Each structure stands twice: as structure tokens, then as C-alpha cells.
Amino acid sequence: MAFSVRALIADDDKASAKLVEVLLKKWGIEVVVAHDGLEALEYIMQFDPPSLLLLDWEMPGYNGIELCQKVRKNDMKNPPYIIICTARDSAEHIAEGLNQGANDFVTKPFNTQVLKARVEVGCRTLKLQARLVEAMTRLDRLASFDELTGLLNRRALFERVHEDLSRAMRTESRLCFAVCDIDWFKRINDKYGHPAGDAILRQLGALLSQQLRLYDRVGRIGGEEFFLLFSVKDIVRANKVLERIRQEIEKCRFEFEGKVIPVTMSFGAAFVTPDDKVERVEVYFSHADKALYRSKERGRNLVTFFNDCV
């Protein structure tokens, strides 16, 4: 996608604002204009704000430096590039402006050549920043999501589940912590091939996500093991939800290259209540794991709760 910059010119001197507007447009930059600090702040607070800000130092409402401070107070993923425009060009003023968060200065009256060069530096910096933000977003995605299923991976899941657990304790809500594992998956891989196994994992990821609400958690812990976390009133209802999911999997037609592959999963679950006094997520994982082991022992394609193992 072509990179484009939208600029905000904030200047109460209308003639000066017009001059800069005409020049920026001539240089291919989209422009919005504000004639005081309050109007400028409205543009800055927009959902999709301008990325290049040319702020006059002296303005009614907020002056350019105050606007700078307001912008820099927010921890923005993609912060704007700020050029302060002013007749004050003493070393003290320049240092003050930069210390308050400006990226650069241009002195008034404008020298067109210098203004153009400064604006170009701003655009180059913004372009570089956009590439960096894009790369970081991609890395974040790779670090948090399992490539095969698109679900949260183990690391991201643990982080989020920690937060879910403390929220549940604060709000006194009840949760069901469940792990589920495909039965005899090695045999499936051996009989139908690894690509068939991968296709099943993908399909299962989608099926499990569909079965829960948007604000519940589904993730792939690793291999053929998945994780589910959902809020639920009591253990009877929790069991019903997991039983429904287990049956959906049993009924589902998993197909690969024209062959229908029967798949079942075993479940192990721990019911979390605010009275548990368990603060570590790892404890619930180990409880759910124990219950899963029991489901496997009891013949597979079953749901077991930790309460029934002790």
C-alpha cells in the first residue's frame, strides 16, 4: 500500500496557515487546518488523526507547546511527527520545544526551501515508523498465535489466563478450566498422514472456537492438546458445555482428500470458584491435566472433572 501523510496545520494567522496549506498540497500532502489550539486538539484526538503536525507556538486555546505535551502524554503506538512553527528561535526556545516533545522547528517567516526539507524529513521518519509498527505487529502476532490453527499459543494463553483468573476472583465469578486432547492421534497421523493430522487440528481449532463465546478463551497448548476457559455458574452447567463440545466433535465429519476420519477428544476440567484461594494458574492446569489423564484411563472420549479424581 502506498504510504500517505495527512498534515494538520494549526495557526491563528490565517494568511500564514493558507500559505503552508498551499505549499503542502503542492507537495502532495493532504491537509487539515485549525485556527486555534482547541480546534487543533479536536483533530489530534480523532480516531484516525493527522500524522504530521505543524503547530504554531503562539495560539489561543492551547499553544503549540501545550499541544505537544498533551500528545506526548499518551503512549501511542504510532505517534505523530511534530514541527513547531515560530518566530522564537533562540537556543532556549528551541531546547524547550524539543524537550516538550517536538521533533523539529521551523522559523517564521517561512523559507519555502527549508520548510520543504523539514516536512520531507518528517515524512521519511513517519514512513520508517509505520514500517516498524507493522513489523512489530507482525512479530506480536507470531509470538502470540499458533500458526497452524490461528488460536492463541501456550505462552499468550498463560498470560491471558492469569489476567482472567484475577478478574474472576475480583468479580467473584466462576470459571471452567479445561484441557482436551485428541484420542489416538498418533494412529490418525500414521494411517492418514501428517497433512491429514494438520487438517484435523485446524478444523478442531475452528470447531472449538465456534462452541464458546467470543470472550471465552480457546488456545492450543501444544501438539494435539487444546485449552478452553469459560465462565459458567456451576459445575453441572460446566459439564454440560464440555459434554456438548465432546459430542459435537464425535459427530463432526473430519474430511481429508475425500476420506472421512473419525475423531474424538478426551477432556479434563477444573472448576474455579472464588473460595478456592488458589492464585496460581499452574495449579488449575495441573488439576485439569490430572482429570484429562483419568479420561484417557477410563477409555477416552470422556469428560472428567478434577473433583472426581480426588
Ligand X SMILES: Nc1nc2c(ncn2[C@@H]2O[C@H](COP(=O)(O)OP(=O)(O)OP(=O)(O)O)[C@@H](O)[C@H]2O)c(=O)[nH]1
Residues that bind ligand X (CB under 6 A): 148, 181-187, 189, 194, 197-198, 201, 223-224, 296, 300
Residue 151 · residue 226 · CB < 8 Å: yes
Instruction: Report the residue closest to ligand X, judged by CB.
Output: 197
State the minimum distance, in angstroms, from the CB of residue 266 to ligand X.
7
37 versus 197: smaller Cβ distance to ligand X: 197
55 versus 157: smaller Cβ distance to ligand X: 157
**185/191 Cα distance (integer angstroms):** 10
Task: Convert 117-141 to b/e letters by CB count within 10 Å (16 or more is b).
Answer: ebbeebbeebeebeeeeeeeeeeee
45 versus 148: smaller Cβ distance to ligand X: 148
Catalytic residue selected from 21, 66, 159, 224: 224
Residue with cell 465462565: 231
Question: Which cell numbers hold the place of 47?
Answer: 480516531
Label the pairing between strands 30-34 and 6-10: parallel
Q: Is 67 helix (H, G, I), strand (E, B) or coil?
A: helix
Tell me if residue 224 is catalytic: yes
Question: Which cell numbers hold the place of 114?
Answer: 527549508
42 versus 297: smaller Cβ distance to ligand X: 297
Handedness of CA 136, 140, 143, 146 (dihedral sign): negative
Residue 232 · residue 269 · CB < 8 Å: no
8 versus 188: smaller Cβ distance to ligand X: 188
The three-point CA angle 153-158-160 to 5° equals 95
**89/14 Cα distance (integer angstroms):** 21
The three-point CA angle 86-92-97 to 5° equals 50
Active site residues: 224
